[in-house]
Amino acid sequence: MNATNHLPILPVYRPTAPQMIYSSAEPHGLTTLLAKSGNDFCFLSTGWTGTPIVAAKPAVHLRVIEADCGFALEISIGGWRHRQPMASAAEAIAALCRQLDAGLQAPTAPLGVGWIGYIGYDLQRRIEGTGPHRSNEPLAHMCLYQHFYIYHADGKWLLVEIGEPASASLTEVAELSDVGEMSEARGLDDTAATGGMVETAGMMEMIDTLRAAEVTVPCEAGVLRDARAPTQPPFISAVRRALEYIGAGDIYQINLCGVWAGRSDNPYELWRSMYEKSPGRYSAFIQSGDWAVCSISPELFLSRRGASLITQPIKGTRIRNRADAAADDKARGELLLSGKEESELAMIVDLLRNDLGRACDIGSVRLSAARQVESLPHLWQTYATIEGKTNASWGTILNCMLPGGSITGVPKIRAMEIIDELEGTARGIYCGNIGWMRADAGDLNIAIRTATWHAGHATYRAGAGIVAESNPVDEYCEICAKAWPFTSTFSGLATEAAL
């Protein structure tokens, strides 16, 4: 009998009515307050849904972990915990997604209201076979938070509370013209709420938190020390071995990464420093107990809105020169004219069209943008956009598409085997997916440019796509450039990043 048949059925959580609040608090002030308090919370940057989102006060945790049988799906609600064995990675992902779909009913909730967390590369790797390296963190972790703070311009915050299972269903957001009456009644100064305010204890707690965030003192950066970087010879040796595999016809392209590490007492300020240097569209910060995820990813793996799916692989990089406009334009032009960079992206587009086609309706997959340039503060990059239509479940979609093609190679399975050999260690969350999900919508990034933090230790990875035309030294310089937002935070690594 399938192990998922024995899984308990989650209670159904529903959002209460969203409330619009005026507050002078900024997203950074709110997240700084939450970080200083030691509470579990997460932050999604503007690129995900068009507005920054802060979520706090976890209600339900879903984790996939290593187990003697292979895998287990662990469900935690308050002090109650259930652990169910899973026979395979594909079964674990499907079971995780079924719980995500069943546990939250929010079809008209604002975008971004859903389960938030990650599905790590090491779980995805095992869909196509057993990986040789064990991960130190949960293979996947999705959390349903009770409090959602969605920031809009001009001091407007949309607050959404995920009520207890017996709470009322979601109602429409009140018109902004109704905002304002509550400030005088409750003496909230410049803070106001929608008409028809539902004064639950949770909503009042959220308002009080916003008020406190208006005057919060920024965190100290914390101690940054004991840094180390990948040395050039081992990475170059790995690239040369990959080129041998390409020459022998095993693969056409592969993604290889280097690893940086350091110590930090404050993971949120570490992420904040990274984000200020390179605010990737799909940046995210997640803090849970003594671990944290610090991502400044610019890459969208999958966006779902109803039956519509979009993926946007990134391939092709040039280092920018912001001090010299002519040199900066030249670097952009060289990127667009590079046959090597164009072929890298074309191979991954072909792979992802195939992966998306496995999950989508026949004939619905199309390449809507073949090659576009994205500008980051220190890099030029190129990406493509592929779209498709499907009514399949999240579990079906993810088991068709994971892991992402842009961070493995072509062909995917053989590339993953060679990655196992040449990198020699588990990737963990890196190159997996971080994001938010609910039954009808969601966004997942590719967890590149991502650091993981555990009990004071921070680890960061950056990778490069290797094809037949690759130069090993150039590829090493590329990963150092991609690691610069992390390495520049640690003075001992600045030289490596400048190569």
- φ, ψ dihedrals at 100, nearest 5°: -60, -45
**d(C-alpha 144, C-alpha 61), whole Å:** 7
User: Where are the domains positioned within the chain?
Assistant: 3-213, 224-497
Q: What is the pLDDT of residue 192?
A: 35
Q: What is the pLDDT of residue 227?
A: 59
- Per annotation, catalytic residue among 57, 137, 161, 315: 315
**d(C-alpha 359, C-alpha 309), whole Å:** 10
Q: What is the pLDDT of residue 218?
A: 58
Q: Which residues contact 301 (CB under 8 A, 6 or more apart)?
A: 311, 401, 404, 433, 435, 444, 445, 446
Q: Which two tokens stand for residue 361?
A: 């309706």
* Annotation: CATH topology of 224-497: Anthranilate synthase (3.60.120)
Residue 299 annotated in active site: yes
**d(C-alpha 297, C-alpha 312), whole Å:** 12
**d(C-alpha 64, C-alpha 97), whole Å:** 11
Rg of the Cα trace of the chain? 23
Low-confidence ranges of the chain (pLDDT < 70): 1-6, 130, 166-198, 216-228, 491-499
Q: Which residue is associated with the tokens 């018109």?
A: 175
**d(C-alpha 313, C-alpha 302), whole Å:** 10
Distances in Å between the alpha carbon of 433 and those of 309, 403, 471? 15, 9, 29
- Per annotation, catalytic residue among 91, 161, 299, 496: 299
**What amino acid is encoded at 371 in this protein?**
R
**Please, are residues 205 and 147 in contact by the beta-carbon 8 Å criterion?**
yes
Nearest to 206 by CA among 224, 184, 233, 188: 188
Express each pLDDT in 22-33 by its tens digit.
999 999 999 999
Q: Which residue is associated with the tokens 């260690």?
A: 425
**Please, are residues 118 and 140 in contact by the beta-carbon 8 Å criterion?**
yes
Read off the pTM: 0.90
**d(C-alpha 432, C-alpha 61), whole Å:** 18
Residue 340 annotated in active site: no
Percent of the chain exceeding pLDDT 90 equals: 74
Express each pLDDT in 48-81 by its tens digit.
999 999 999 999 999 999 888 789 999 999 889 9
Nearest to 58 by CA among 107, 98, 103, 97: 103
